[in-house]
A and B are shown apart, each in its own frame.
Chain A
């Protein structure tokens, strides 16, 4: 399930421009990565928690953003601790987690259309080298949209595999997902053409 879809609200973060928020994320991520210390990670984590509060989101929403990262944490922390010590483990894994949860705050408080407008504006200079900013923005929108669609297809393929008694067959899972995903992409292409998006 996509946990960081836009949630309507009237907080300061909701009212701020998408460009300002993206710039803020850039500055925040630069400080987080350049700091390279557990102290920086903890300070940045505190800032993110504070911003969730300002955005009107509670602990549950914060936890929902953290939950999908559990496997990264469980795999990377022991490995980093073992190979480079606890400080590196906290710094590396903490940086990833804080950056992702911070970025999710942008998705939660910004409509995708507003983000696309900013991206299309930022890419205007790239027209000189043949890049169509609207097309790049559309590509990003389709990527975001594809996540729940493919997740649904995967779930259906899992159920179908179980129904046929083929729980351990990788082929019975992968083949229908790939075929249906390609067919879906085909149909989306038709639908975009029908809506005149590519004209």
Chain B
């Protein structure tokens, strides 16, 4: 379980999150909100990439501020730009890189890499240069590279933003089928249809929290009300 307890966060003088209290237990949690609303910061709090200015975030009882390494073993993170996430020159090597400090033997690493690449339809690309993959394949590689460590939670910050419709749907399908708990920050409301819980962030606060249909409706009316022309 992830608990966010009276969390506020500032970048300099600007408060981006204000007094957030949440318990995240559902398997599929969406986060939506306008640009600059604080949703990416909220996502980054979950695996300790951002440490709250006040309050605390607990993952299965571990404080992200004090046990960041332990938290990151449980909570994986995928960004919108896979190019920034791919470290090694070839596809297979990038996935294997995630297991580098896990103390596994070569054969076990090779087996796990092969299995995850097969799951993501990349098995034929193992020795291909990663920078020559399509955008969709790069995002699949980014997902495979974090999921090979078998985390319990996957946090995705707008993973489909740079993808076309086909690739976006492929990534969405994969996310929907994962055994992990998924927290998905997105502008793509279609991706969240049927999700158990969707949070709407506005001005650094949670302004709606409920099943997808209810929260998306709230968000749409919020955006409509904000229109000036």
Contact = CB atoms under 8 A, between A and B. Distances in A.
Interface of A: 2, 5-8, 111-113, 134, 138, 141-142, 144-145, 148-149, 152, 184, 187-188, 190-197, 199
B34 to A, nearest CB: 22
B127 interface: yes
Query: Nearest 4 CB-CB pairs, A to B?
Result: A199-B69, A187-B84, A194-B77, A196-B72
Interface of B: 47, 49, 68-69, 72-73, 76-77, 79, 81, 83-90, 93, 96-98, 100-101, 127, 129, 131, 145-146, 149
A196 B69 contact: yes
A184 B87 CA distance: 12
Contacts of A134: 100-101
10 contacts: A112-B88, A141-B87, A141-B88, A187-B79, A193-B49, A195-B72, A195-B77, A197-B87, A197-B100, A197-B101
B97 A6 contact: no
B131 A149 contact: yes
Contacts of B49: 190, 193-194
B interface: dominant SS: mixed
A interface: dominant SS: helix
B97 A142 contact: no
Given A187-B79, A188-B85, A195-B98, 11 more contacts: A141-B97, A142-B87, A148-B131, A184-B83, A188-B87, A190-B79, A191-B79, A191-B84, A195-B145, A197-B100, A199-B69
A145 B88 contact: yes
A9 B86 CA distance: 23
Nearest to B109: A113
A112 B89 contact: yes
Given A2-B129, A8-B127, A194-B47, A112 B93 contact: yes
